[in-house]
Amino acid sequence: MTHQIQIAAKSGTFTIGGELKVNRLGYGTMQLTGDGVWGEPNNPEEAVRVLQKAIELGVNFIDTADAYGPFVTNKLIKKALHPYNEDLVIATKVGLTRAGPNDWRPVGRPEYLRQQVEINRNDLGVDTIDLLQLHRIDPQVPLADQIGELKKMKEEGKIRHIGLSQVSVEELKEANEITPIASVQNMYNLANRESEAMLEYCEENNIAFIPWFPLATGELAKEGGPLDKLAKEHDAQPAQLALAWLLKRSKVILPIPGTSSVSHLEDNLAAAEIELSDEEFKTLSDAVTATK
């Protein structure tokens, strides 16, 4: 497997906030929990192996959140990888509370956000969080209060860069007036491009765009569909081509496919070696419109 060492580096690089250089194909930890993103993983040892293998294969950008578990994935990261490699960038999130499996509730009160930042720092074992993302804007709390508290903690040295998740262009612009926003994490994939305007704004302003749910392929992957056909031509899996499409779509996109198994991780990262031609990229892009 020597050819797989540092395979993630073949996805190219992006510098978050003009400071944190990462390989574009990263890893998301949400699946390293129990059902409903609740509780401990079914196989904790495999979860540790997945994280360690990701690093071995060149991943140096990991996305996590205190809400995953809650308080499960950050501790797994620390157990598996601490002390961290100097080039590893860990992005985490605050702003949600959990009341049970698949239950997510935004809480953006400044004191809560501060508490969660401190818990993230402790669970990850870091003094400064590389990239702290607001998991969701709380509609009950002024945005200025939420971003303002994160800005204070950045000035205190507890946060290096600030990001947003599941936001509109208007909300991003409003937040950017308070403090520089280094990243946006919105749903975006081959089959769902409702955040196209946001992606274009991020491109224009060199903001990292982190698509969550990056592997969704919808009808495109069905037998005989355009994704299935191209996958066979590349001797690859539809999910790998979906990731290759994201990587080609924009240089600011940082896909973070998640998995709880080493073999699936290796499959996902192999997407870094797939190069779609302009014609193949257009075929897949146009196919989405055709299926709607």
Least confident interval from 37-46, 222-231, 232-241: 222-231
Least confident interval from 5-9, 11-15, 124-128, 153-157: 5-9
pLDDT at residue 219 in the model: 74
CATH class of 19-291: alpha beta
Average pLDDT of span 225-229 = 85
At residue 1 the predicted structure's pLDDT band, cuts being 50, 70 and 90, is very low
E strands along 49-199, which residues? 61-63, 89-94, 96-97, 105-106, 129-134, 159-165, 181-185
pLDDT at residue 2 in the model: 40
Say which DSSP state 3 is in. G
Average pLDDT of span 43-51 = 97
Which value, to the nearest 10 degrees, does the dihedral of the CA atoms of residues 216, 103, 39, 163 take?
60
pLDDT in tens, 158-215: 999 999 999 999 999 999 999 999 999 999 999 899 999 999 999 999 999 999 988 8
Is 0.75 topped by the overall pTM?
yes
Query: Where in the chain are the domains?
Result: 19-291
70 versus 5: the higher-pLDDT residue is: 70
291 versus 145: the higher-pLDDT residue is: 145
Choose, from 68, 84, 188, 201, the residue flagged as catalytic.
68
29 versus 288: the higher-pLDDT residue is: 29
Given a cut of 60, whether residue 3 has pLDDT beyond it is no
Mean residue pLDDT across the chain: 95
* Sign of the C-alpha dihedral computed for residues 243, 183, 110 and 157 taken in this order: positive
pLDDT in tens, 94-148: 999 999 999 999 999 999 999 999 999 999 999 999 999 999 999 999 999 999 9
pLDDT at residue 222 in the model: 82
Q: What is the CA radius of gyration of the chain?
A: 18
Average pLDDT of span 54-76 = 98
**Angstrom distance (rounded) from CA 221 to CA 228:** 5
- Is 27 assigned a catalytic role? no
Cβ within 8 Å of residue 128, ≥6 positions away: 121, 157, 158, 159, 160
Q: Give the whole-number percent of the chain exceeding pLDDT 90.
A: 90
pLDDT at residue 11 in the model: 98
pLDDT at residue 287 in the model: 83
